[in-house]
Every structure is written in structure tokens, then in C-alpha cells.
Amino acid sequence: MHDARVLIEMGDGAVRRLARRGHTLDISSLESLLSRRNKSVRSGDELRAEAKRLAREVQQTAKQGGDIAALKEAARTAKEQIRETDAEQAKLQQELRELLLSIPNLPADEAPDGDSEDDAVEQRRVGEPPSFDFEPRDHVDLGEAMGILDFGRATKLSGPRFSVLRGVGAALERALAALFLDLHTRRHGYVEHSVPFLVTRGTMTGTGQLPKFEEDLFRTGVADRDLFLIPTGEVPLTNLYADEIIPPAELPLALTAHTPCFRSEAGSYGRDTRGLIRQHQFAKVELVRICAPDRARAEMAEMVGHAEACLRELDLAYRVVTLAAGDTGFAARLTCDLEVWLPGQAAYREVSSVSDFGTFQGRRAGIRTRDENGRTTPAATVNGSGLPIGRALAAVLEQHQQADGSVLLPGSLVPYLGFRRIAADGTPAET
């Protein structure tokens, strides 16, 4: 969330920057609303001061035996005016909050122009996409032939865009999660958390999912409780520190969790909906860093490296791209995607997204720290996937498939699985 005064001071600069991401900012409306709210606050303060003065005068006049009827009537009138002004102030404050909650983060200058994935700028490629002397299959055909993926029975259970992993497939999913968690906790210094998968409306608002993206969320209602299934581990991890002041000496905080994620993906039908790429329920290892505002970009670069380490451990070819301003998420000011090569599609597909949010989430969630002068200031947040398990599994199957229908797994998974090869019939081999 923004500070309204900062946006107004930026004026046309804020309008131009938000226009890069397709948002039209009406500065005059914002300025008018803030002015009316401030005027209401001042009026309330003046009325309260007058009410206190009248109360003192009533007491003094009564002690002196004077007539206090007119003074008491003036005091009652002042109290009624205070109630009316407070109600107006609350209404204007809510309108201002709703307006500010609807304004996306200002895109960073480094974000290229454009509004689609085609406008992303490639930063680097790592590894050579594998070449095959046979026609490579995608992970759906390969996994179903091996008997380790079952999308038909998943559809029977829950409808489309769910999956069932069976036998070695389920073991591989578990092994990938364990590998990623071990990398991040033992090598990269993150603290693992086990967090709730159902959160409040306020928690969703703190990280920017609400109010804008309510149609993408799965919502539950039991009695008078209104809870949402988390779309990403970012939501509970970041909001662990909502409404807290974190001492500067404790920053940066590095948090990770392995959670299920639930997304309706409203409006995305037809885009990467085959297989494990874009599902309503999927598992992910999430990374969150909370830091001083001037450290956000450096922390983002470090997190990109942590996500890349996962792909290198799996011997996967990938590339890193910077998203265009108009294709950057609502709460982010700069995003880098890691895209893994999928031979079955002969294309790079996103497997991780790392974003610098600046103080946008810190301001919304009330996550604060102190500056060099000891004054409280919103903390910065950085978030990334490290990694989505299903997408990583799909890439492992596709890039490491063999001509005989088997899959030769990367050596990093052997300690977690106890075998190196998945035979064409889906059984462990080379244990």
C-alpha cells in the first residue's frame, strides 16, 4: 500500500510510472479525498478541544453558583458534532484506504516496457537444453505411461487441473521438497516454518491478494469464520511479522516453508493447463526475506541465486528473465522469472518467480523496523519460489528422459530416494 502523501508529491511522475503497468491514477481525486479526510480530522480535534473547554467552564460556573443551562446545551451540541465528525472521518478514512489498496506498486525503472511475457528481457541462459535422438515426450505422456502420474483419477476426485502422483511419482515429489528445504536451510540460511494453510481476510490483504484478487482465491466459511486457503506460502510467512517492529539488528529475516497452494486461476484457462504446470492445488517451497528498505534489491539478487541453486542441483537447463512493467505482479516493483526448458513443449516455462516488493507489503501489513535515526519505517519484503514441486518434477522427467522410456535422475536426488533411475514401468532401478 502507498502513502497517499508520497503519491501526491510525486504527481505526474507517479501517474507515468503506474501507466507503465496499465493503471490509471487519478491524482486529483486522491488529493481531494486526502484533503477532506485531513479537514475532518482537524475539525474533530477542534471540536474535542472546544468540548473540553466547555466542560471546564461548566464546572467553574457551577462552583460559582452561576447558570449552567446554556453551557450544558453547548456541550451537548459539541458532543453531537464530534460524533458526526468522527463518523464522517471514519467514512473518509475507509474510502481512502480502499482507494490506496487498489493502487499497485510503482514499477522499478529497471523493469522493461510492455505488458506481456513476450516483453520480458532475458538476462542469461544456464545449461544447454538437452538434445535427443528420439522424439521427446512431455511429462504427462511420460508419467502416465510409467504409471506415476494419474490425471484421470484426479479429475474424478476433484475435477480438472488436479493431479495424483503414485508410487515413485509420489516419492519423487517428496524427495524434491526435502532437497529444496535442505538447500535453503543448510546452505542458504533460511529458517524453516510450518504454517497454517487457512488465513484471515486481513492476512490476505497484508500481502496484496485482497481485495483485488478475491476471484482467484478459494474461500471457506464455517459459522461466522471467514478464511481463505493460501495461494502461496508467501502469505503466512510474510504476515508472521504483521503489526510488529523488527529490530534492525535482526534483519534480514530469511524464512522458508513447504506448503500446498490453492488457486482458482480465474481467467487463465487455456494457458499451460495441461499436466503439472498450472493447477488449482500444488506444492511449493517458498522463500521470504524481510529487510531494511535500502537492502531490498541486493536481497532479491541473493534470492534469485538461491532459486537457481535448486535448478543446478537438478541439472536442468534454464534462463532468467526480467518481467515487463505491465506483466509484473500487483504488489511487486520488480520481478525476475526463472524459466526451465521443457522438451515436450520445446519452450522455456516459468518455474520460479522472485520479486522485490520494496515497502509495499510492509506498509499494508504493518511490518516495520527502525532507520539509522531510530524512527520507525516500513520494512521491505522480497519473495520467491524455491521451487514449485510439480513444475520441477515435470522438468526433471522431461529433461532427463531416456530413449527406452526410463528417466535417469540427477545424482542430488539419490540420497532422498535410494535409486537413480525410474524404469519405463515406473519402478525403481539402479538402487
| Catalytic residue IDs | 263, 278, 350, 353, 391
CA distance 400 to 412: 13
CA distance 258 to 249: 27
> What is the helix (H) or strand (E) element at residue 236, kind and residue range?
helix 234-239
Among candidates 210, 47, 5, 21, which has minimal Cα distance to 108?
21
CB atoms under 10 Å from CB of 259, counted, come to 21
CA distance 354 to 335: 6
Q: Phi first, then psi: what are they for 19, rounded to 5°?
A: -65, -30
Contact 359, 293 (CB under 8 A): yes
Q: Residue 370: CA atoms inside 13 Å, Cβ hemisphere, count?
A: 10
Amino acid at 311: L
What would the grid cell of residue 396 be? 526433471
Q: How many residues in the chain?
A: 431
> What is the helix (H) or strand (E) element at residue 5, kind and residue range?
helix 4-10
What would the grid cell of residue 21 be? 503497468
Q: Which residue pairs, CB below 8 angstroms and at least 24 apart, start in 272-277?
A: 272/349, 273/160, 273/161, 274/138, 274/140, 275/138, 275/139, 275/140, 275/149, 275/151, 275/163, 275/394, 276/139, 276/140, 276/149, 276/163, 276/390, 276/391, 276/393, 276/394, 277/349, 277/390, 277/391, 277/394
What would the grid cell of residue 232 be? 502461496
How distant is the alpha carbon of residue 380 from its chain centre?
13
Burial (0-12, 13-18, 19+ Cβ within 10 Å), 284: buried
CA distances 103 to 3, 98, 200, 306, 383, Å, are 11, 9, 21, 30, 20
Rg over CA atoms, the chain: 27
CA distance 356 to 379: 12
